[in-house]
Amino acid sequence: MVEWTEQERSIITSIFGNLDYNDVGPKALSRCLIVYPWTQRYFASFGNLYNAEAIKTNPNIAAHGTKATYAELSVLHSEKLHVDPDNFKLLADCLTIVIAAKMGSAFSPEVQATFQKFLAVVVSALGRQYH
Amino acid sequence: MTSLSAKDKEAVKTFWAKVSSKATDIGADALGRMLVVYPQTKTYFSHWKDLSPGSAPVKKHGQTVMGGVADAVSKIDNLTAGLLNLSELHAFTLRVDPANFKILSHNILVVLATMFPNDFTPEVHVAMDKFLAALALALSEKYR
């Protein structure tokens, strides 16, 4: 069971409290598709992903980046989508970069450590239902 | 993984020209972050009095490391040959586990994002990620 200090909880709450999901979600997802192009294989039905410009302006990517449902996400990713769990880490890294760019110097080493710990837990949870 | 295309090299050189004046700050911040976020890396610096971000040894060593990165940018057309001596240093003397190259690279990218949010576009990000990976590979050359 993961342990969280009061300080870590407050850092995470503060980051997500100030987050514009409609901005950060699509940015992180499109960054992931550009920096790690093999991840595009999971979005073949989304239309034009041929270059960075197309990815950044693709409306399906923008919409997908903002989905916030958590019901059986892990089962969905393994049973239906067959996403290689390594990809969760790639998206987590892109999300870290996007949040870092947004927060600038406020993204201190301590905040980075807490945020990465949180994402590692999410990534682990998403991978748990695979077999 | 993949080698650097002409487009990648252009992107790296252009971006580096923009940020090189801050190389010392970038190096110090990246190193300081690494020691906090990945505490296992502290084992390589047990001889330092102070490992906290912003401390004198961290700043000085951050400058040394970024000097290496700057050198690598100038030798981007043949990293393996250009970084031979550094590879020998890391392999035989320092014996840094190459897994740590990836960790430091990630922290360098995070610092670039915090310091240059508008210039560190996804296109620049992928070029720098590839470049740092190629740099790490060249550094690993002499290990075995």
Distance, CA of A52 to CA of A33 (rounded, Å): 8
pLDDT of residue A55: 87
pLDDT of residue B84: 95
> Residue B75: pLDDT above 70?
yes
- Note whether residue A1 is domain-resident: no
Cα B129 from chain centre:
10
Distance, CA of B48 to CA of A64 (rounded, Å): 47
What's the mean per-residue pLDDT of chain B?
Answer: 94
- Find the mean pLDDT for residues B102-111: 97
The CATH number of residue A30's host domain is: 1.10.490.10
What contacts 24+ positions apart, CB below 8 Å, involve A123-128?
A123/A85, A123/A88, A123/A89, A123/A92, A125/A74, A126/A73, A126/A74, A126/A77, A126/A85, A126/A88, A127/A74, A127/A85, A127/A88, A128/A74
Q: Which residue from B minimizes the CA distance to A53? A: B123
Whether A109 sits inside 8 A of B32 (CB atoms) is yes
- Find the mean pLDDT for residues B118-124: 95
> Residue B1: pLDDT above 70?
no
- What residues make up the domain containing A117? 6-130
H or E, element range at B122: helix B122-140
State whether residue B115 sits within 8 Å of chain A by CB: yes
Percent of chain B with pLDDT over 70: 99
pLDDT of residue A44: 82
pLDDT tens sequence across B35-64 = 999 999 999 999 999 999 999 999 999 999
Q: How many CB pairs under 8 A join A and B?
A: 53
Distance, CA of A101 to CA of A127 (rounded, Å): 27
- B103 and A90 in contact (C-beta within 8 Å)? no
Q: How is chain B split into domains, by residue range?
A: 6-140
Q: How far is CA B18 from CA B26, B89, B106, B119, in A?
A: 13, 29, 20, 9
Distance, CA of A8 to CA of A6 (rounded, Å): 6
Residues of B within 8 A of A7 (CB-CB) are none
Whether B36 sits inside 8 A of A110 (CB atoms) is yes
pLDDT of residue A71: 43
- Find the mean pLDDT for residues B93-112: 94
Distance, CA of B53 to CA of B106 (rounded, Å): 17
Residues of B within 8 A of A34 (CB-CB) are 122-123, 125-126
Residue with structure tokens 């960075």? Answer: A52
| Predicted complex ipTM | 0.79
CATH of B6-140, one of 1.10.490.10, 3.30.450.40, 3.40.50.2300, 1.10.150.20: 1.10.490.10
pLDDT tens sequence across B12-42 = 999 999 999 999 999 999 999 999 999 999 9
State whether residue B22 sits within 8 Å of chain A by CB: no
Q: Which residue from B minimizes the CA distance to A104? A: B114
State whether residue B94 sits within 8 Å of chain A by CB: no
What is the CB neighbour count within 10 angstroms for residue B42?
13
Interface of A to B at Cβ within 8 Å reads 30-31, 34-35, 52, 56, 93, 96-98, 100-105, 107-110, 112-113, 116
pLDDT of residue A72: 55
Domain count, chain A: 1
The pLDDT tens digits along chain A (131 residues) read 788 999 999 999 998 888 887 888 888 888 999 998 888 888 888 888 888 888 888 888 887 766 644 445 676 777 777 788 888 899 999 999 999 999 999 999 999 999 999 999 888 888 776 66
